[in-house]
Structure 1
């Protein structure tokens, strides 16, 4: 991605008319194929900005030895030993200058050849020198780019390649002010984080200056069981001093090595120019690429044949024949048939490596998503590398491609984007299309993500003028025109955040969805706003507003911390910007969302957020630092959260069972619900060898055994699923401490129970009615929560939360007599008044008003003896003010 500044320009000449040749035998041409040298080892790196470092004789022996791909950044870590190896000590969040130097030998037989340096990515601005000769600059951190190094290359001996990269955070007047992204909820790593190569060709070759693309542009214009038609444009560069008579030969080769179609087109190429040659392939009885069910790929082989019959250059690419369409009522259509797309968003970083990942890493990620049952990936929020596209082609994963126009597009209070930034956005879009348009998997060009915040933009974003004054539509319209000119065969899209949200009266939200062909909604009901059940009706409203525009859900989800657990996902509010992000709540959001999405088959796709936890310096949340915890898999890309198994049970037909909350080992209550994700015909749950019961046909493949009474000490759970081919099992082990087996301590009004000295507290549970509240000021995007000091207790964190209103508890204790202690915490802001508390027919508190301090906050307790039969009842009844309680202790009397 990015504008491309080099010392060599290319001209375009008129293309000759194609001459179609039906599949036949390839002549025995002599071969003179391009040579590729991977430049991975022997690099030297310095984080110091040394002005003389571009000189060939600069002394770099003291620089750090590195291999490429390389990034110096390590960002994000967990506050535990699960899911990643980064620590506070190993983190490096520096953004700025980095220098790379490499000494390499000129390849043998280089005389008379052309030499290109190819960079798969350099973040985010790169300047390149070879042997002291400045080759050019590339502005954009995500795309492949090349420089013609022929004139600077030595005929023999050692060459010195120098690259200066700059990933500085954009600011007005800064070195990266015109390079997208200007902001975003992800960290932009620096370095040469994708491979670097030296490409050597004959003087007559397929164009290497085609915006980083292959120089071959192929479009399947028709494909069915009888026939497929592929139209091609091949760009040929003649770097000789004379006009060249040549031909372009294009072949489609099947998996067995047989030629399915070919075309040869004669061309006369002017000296020092690029000519575009058009061709057409017609394939009889084609084998179509049909997603994950049958991702069949041909080889598309493009050759430049000189007048003497020598093949002077060749480009070979896998190529899938398919048609794609998007319909507002039928959804996504693949090869004429509805094909529901269900998948996840994807960021390219991982623990311990940052962005410097390998092809094997990407292959592992694709395999993980396929294991889950996904058939599509949303590549967010920037152009991803060729590895993920190649592997998506092979796996049949339909891809949403996107440029990094994210939330902000002006700096320094400007009301309009800088012309250089507009040019950069168009350049990055051009590179995205040119480099990926031959991939069968690539289906959508996304021109923006969440540029519709208006004046509700989150505090961690920065830059432009008031959101009411910065209109995104002119830029979006420019990008829409650019995309359609580059590739009219694919639709454009963008993802919105905010349209039709219930903001305050002072919030103005621009409607941007109409700027692109397809709609995409990023909506976090039950997380950042609203209730989980609001998602479906909201989508219905968007569809009603634009019934002719196909709609997808491009993001939905919640955070999930590996070490945080809740006993009841409705016990209190999740802390979307702070700590309370239990793993079970993430699963709850996905369970409720999937039910609503499945009920709307007109959605062309749904992409959950996110596949893997990823780095972002705007967050301190859950049990992590600088990590967005919404991944279904941890930052190590291996540790699967419960929500992963929920989707696998629903999307992957392979028989499976999974006991949820396995990491919640030390249990807070002696009675609990047990949830098992299972797609088998029937599932039995066993506790310490005895059956708890058998369930079948569980809604959404989620089987729940309610009110399971645990044994004191160790509890071995086994879920056994029976299917046509046999059985599958999963197991877990929970512990119930002796003191916990005898008592319940309920931290009222909270999703995540507080820690207490000498005892285990459980989150709010067994209640009906009321609302959760807190005396503390909540966290907000990297800013921690502000606790309120509470006098009269050693359990401040527990008493800070409360349940209020009129509500009741039915706690599943054994029959007997119990000591019940009710704790109340109040602050000066509490409304004076009285309420009652009952247990069955017994009134525990009549016209009770907790003490309201003049300043600070204070706690007080009331203790009672209560009889229970079947369950212990507590009823809180509002009077002149809302009833409330902060903590409930229940201990059996012997």
Structure 2
């Protein structure tokens, strides 16, 4: 499917229609043009000086007069009040009120300027007060919002007191259950609460830009028309002429356009300039070239005071096409979309990820070879989108209509508003190619019901609105089969080898689904894996699975009980099986010339209230990395298919003990993109093999070899285009067989420091009555502590959870000593507890 629009038709369908949706209002649309973040000299990030209170207050007055009945704690921004309890194994995470307060200094450099409070995202319903005066209320946890607080400031806002101490600002964040708010409370992820994205104080002149949109359109094979449209924030209705200078630069800093305009303040959105770039430098994942548009607004206000304000926008030029029943094309050439998914979630922070961790995560995604990402299931932070632009990662971004059925008018209006905001706020990102309209809105427990006609009607409305606001991009939705004909691109539910069917059925399912829609994309596929758990017989569960009956997820398939046999319920949740499943899917995808692409679910483990019985309770463990960004083995499977620089990874870096009979041949797999590889077992060559992507598993880079009882060392040397790379692992091979688990032991493993504090790691192991380590044991255990020490738990990882399933008969946890003695215990059903004294 190719979309082409003349400049005239674009202005009719896009600019005029978008103008109606971008009218200045409270809350403002939070345009990137006016909200410059940390790099804007007129923006002050409110990161410090905050206090937090979990619980309810009687009124905003009590936010400043509650010391007798409430204990406030100092916090730094961003802050999520579910950072610790998001994956508590014993009680659901907190859902309720969280109050914040601070004194914000006011130092507006503009005479008669406007002072704005800019929230980059807060969960889930936010009420803001200046003193006791209401500044505004925003419902929705993921889009940006702005309140103009100028008229709420005291008359002394420019006095020494206001500048130094600042004005009192209180914020109530409420993530209580709300059936009229998106996403649904039954969503398979946590609806976090708090100021978990940045809060900025922004100073602008009396008249400033609210929104700047840059539209690009192919004029000819050698030229590109660029239109710059803008809307104003002009609450005083100034009528004085504005002087506007527009400059455009390429990535090298070369100016390619400059123009000056004199214009009276306008309403709605208007075209400021149009120009042509001859021989434009096109944006792509391999060459993410960005242009910069710099707009200077200079003019006299009603008060006669001159002002000058500079807005910056980046944009890229690229052309997208979905061929009917065929592939995706970028800039006229076929590009197989190789993708994953992202939730905003991290161990110890929940949704309040610091900028450096966001940068690390996005770089890990790019280093895996990704060229596409679905941001699930909501609008994500501007930093993520900026990184996608710079790193070259194409994006599907969606509104939070997730498992919500169709509620009342309040519910429906929220969907319209979040769609308008998402498009307005992220319009200029060249990385975005798909606007997602919803997710799994056929879920069997939807509120108020799964009314297919109502869902279709509402989806049609959102689809039309998206095309009206932005006809240059495509719409999409995942898993709502009775509405698959409405969006431009549709993703069915295909979970071959996990929730239903087996992974060899994957290609047949894809071909069946291709013929049911015009444009197919496969979002969400994969398998859960318990990090550190490995198997000598990973595909054993496939023998139980019924084939030929579909590979979709149905009903309550995600539950660990009930229903027909499925790997998600009857498999071992090992990293070994997950790697095999990923390997099969990836080898299949690269052989299908018609396939648009896919996005594996999900890049990083994340919290969910629905999966209490998982090996790490309340954690969706389908990530390729753990919640603290520790890579699992599967990360390297994707690298072996998707990256270009030579890489080689022997499977089993987190598998300290393998097992089998003495002399039994065992498989060694190497995931690599190299042409050839040679394996050395305890210093002796096991032979050279050649890579063939269709030779499953491990693309032919595998060996059958015996191990020596006890310690073994494996080393591989792989070669690609004359470059060699090596990898090495060491493990113990156990030949003793074990019986029923009978004894659990707990011992100190190591000591270290963390943030200047001494830590101790203890390890639990499960043995049979003869003292043989039970290497297939999956018992659920619980760590407890008594004394001065503190467990590092509730991180949602296999090594930082006080309740967790064993990984091959082992588990560990770390404690902070706090300069004192403690006793750590470990318990599991039907076995005596074990203790370890820490001095």
CA shift at 1:762, angstroms? 7.3
Q: State the match for 2:490 in structure 1.
A: 519
Q: State the match for 1:607 in structure 2.
A: 599
Q: State the match for 1:883 in structure 2.
A: none
CA shift at 1:560, angstroms? 1.1
Distance in 2, Cα, partners of 1:394 & 1:97:
37
* 1:161 equivalent among 143, 164, 169: 169
Distance in 1, Cα, partners of 2:237 & 2:398:
40
Distance in 2, Cα, partners of 1:404 & 1:62:
34
Q: State the match for 1:830 in structure 2.
A: none
Q: Is structure 2 residue 408 aligned with structure 1 residue 418?
A: yes
2:505 match: secondary structure: helix
Deviates further, 148-157 or 192-201: 148-157
> Is the Cα–Cα contact under 8 Å of residues 562 and 623 in structure 1 kept in the other structure?
no
Distance in 2, Cα, partners of 1:369 & 1:527:
23
> Is the Cα–Cα contact under 8 Å of residues 73 and 92 in structure 1 kept in the other structure?
no
CA shift at 1:623, angstroms? 3.1
1:592 match: secondary structure: helix
What is the 5 A alignment of 1:753-764?
A: 756-757=768-769, 758-759=771-772
Distance in 1, Cα, partners of 2:693 & 2:379:
38
Q: State the match for 2:329 in structure 1.
A: 333
1:387 match: secondary structure: helix
* 1:203 equivalent among 203, 206, 213: 206
Aligned length: 682
Distance in 2, Cα, partners of 1:474 & 1:536:
32
Q: State the match for 2:744 in structure 1.
A: none
Q: State the match for 2:393 in structure 1.
A: 397
Q: Is structure 2 residue 227 aligned with structure 1 residue 231?
A: yes
Q: State the match for 2:361 in structure 1.
A: 365
CA shift at 1:677, angstroms? 0.9
Distance in 1, Cα, partners of 2:237 & 2:88:
58
Q: Give a deviation string over 1:783-805, Cα, whole Å, max 9, x none.
A: xxxxxxxxxxxxxxx9xxxxxxx
CA shift at 1:36, angstroms? 0.8
Larger Rg: 1
> Is the Cα–Cα contact under 8 Å of residues 231 and 280 in structure 1 kept in the other structure?
yes
CA shift at 1:241, angstroms? 5.7
Q: Give a deviation string over 1:851-871, Cα, whole Å, max 9, x none.
A: xxxxxxxxxxxxxxxxxxxxx
Q: Is structure 2 residue 540 aligned with structure 1 residue 566?
A: no
Q: Is structure 2 residue 484 aligned with structure 1 residue 496?
A: no
1:472 match: secondary structure: helix
- Using structure 2 for the length normalisation, give the TM-score: 0.76
Q: Give a deviation string over 1:411-452, Cα, whole Å, max 9, x none.
A: xxxxxx211100001111111110101111111100011123
Taking structure 1 as reference, are residues 615 and 4 closer, same or farther at Cα in structure 2, changes over 3 Å only? farther
Please list every run of 5 or more consecutive structure 1 residues that lacks an aligned counterpart in the other structure. Answer: 12-32, 78-85, 172-176, 208-214, 411-416, 500-510, 748-753, 765-797, 799-894
Taking structure 1 as reference, are residues 674 and 418 closer, same or farther at Cα in structure 2, changes over 3 Å only? same
> Is the Cα–Cα contact under 8 Å of residues 229 and 280 in structure 1 kept in the other structure?
no
2:618 match: secondary structure: strand
Distance in 2, Cα, partners of 1:761 & 1:62:
49
* 1:64 equivalent among 62, 69, 73: 73
What is the 5 A alignment of 1:329-478?
A: 329-410=325-406, 417-453=407-443, 457=444, 461=445, 463-465=447-449, 467=450, 471-478=454-461
Distance in 1, Cα, partners of 2:767 & 2:584:
29
Distance in 2, Cα, partners of 1:39 & 1:677:
46
Q: Is structure 2 residue 679 aligned with structure 1 residue 710?
A: no
Q: Is structure 2 residue 728 aligned with structure 1 residue 731?
A: yes
Q: State the match for 2:285 in structure 1.
A: 292
Q: State the match for 2:241 in structure 1.
A: 245
Q: Give a deviation string over 1:667-712, Cα, whole Å, max 9, x none.
A: 2213311111122222111111111111112435534545421101
Distance in 2, Cα, partners of 1:4 & 1:189:
28
Q: State the match for 1:314 in structure 2.
A: 310
Q: Give a deviation string over 1:132-158, Cα, whole Å, max 9, x none.
A: 211111000001100110101232313
Q: State the match for 1:699 in structure 2.
A: 693
> Is the Cα–Cα contact under 8 Å of residues 54 and 162 in structure 1 kept in the other structure?
no
> Is the Cα–Cα contact under 8 Å of residues 49 and 103 in structure 2 kept in the other structure?
yes
CA shift at 1:161, angstroms? 0.7
Q: Is structure 2 residue 60 aligned with structure 1 residue 53?
A: yes
2:657 match: secondary structure: coil
Q: State the match for 2:632 in structure 1.
A: 641
* 2:508 equivalent among 520, 526, 537: 537
Distance in 2, Cα, partners of 1:319 & 1:4:
19
1:217 match: secondary structure: strand
Taking structure 1 as reference, are residues 165 and 9 closer, same or farther at Cα in structure 2, changes over 3 Å only? closer
1:137 match: secondary structure: strand
Q: Is structure 2 residue 197 aligned with structure 1 residue 194?
A: yes
Taking structure 1 as reference, are residues 108 and 620 closer, same or farther at Cα in structure 2, changes over 3 Å only? closer
Q: State the match for 1:486 in structure 2.
A: 469
Taking structure 1 as reference, are residues 246 and 703 closer, same or farther at Cα in structure 2, changes over 3 Å only? same
What is the 5 A alignment of 1:70-109?
A: 70-74=79-83, 93-107=93-107, 109=109
CA shift at 1:564, angstroms? 1.8
Taking structure 1 as reference, are residues 72 and 5 closer, same or farther at Cα in structure 2, changes over 3 Å only? farther
Q: State the match for 2:718 in structure 1.
A: 721
2:608 match: secondary structure: strand
> Is the Cα–Cα contact under 8 Å of residues 673 and 704 in structure 1 kept in the other structure?
no
Q: State the match for 1:278 in structure 2.
A: 271
> Is the Cα–Cα contact under 8 Å of residues 665 and 734 in structure 1 kept in the other structure?
yes
Distance in 2, Cα, partners of 1:643 & 1:732:
16
| More strand per residue | 1
CA shift at 1:247, angstroms? 3.9
Taking structure 1 as reference, are residues 235 and 7 closer, same or farther at Cα in structure 2, changes over 3 Å only? closer
1:545 match: secondary structure: coil
2:98 match: secondary structure: strand
* 2:43 equivalent among 30, 33, 36: 36
Q: Give a deviation string over 1:695-733, Cα, whole Å, max 9, x none.
A: 112435534545421101101111111233442111112
Distance in 1, Cα, partners of 2:207 & 2:351:
36
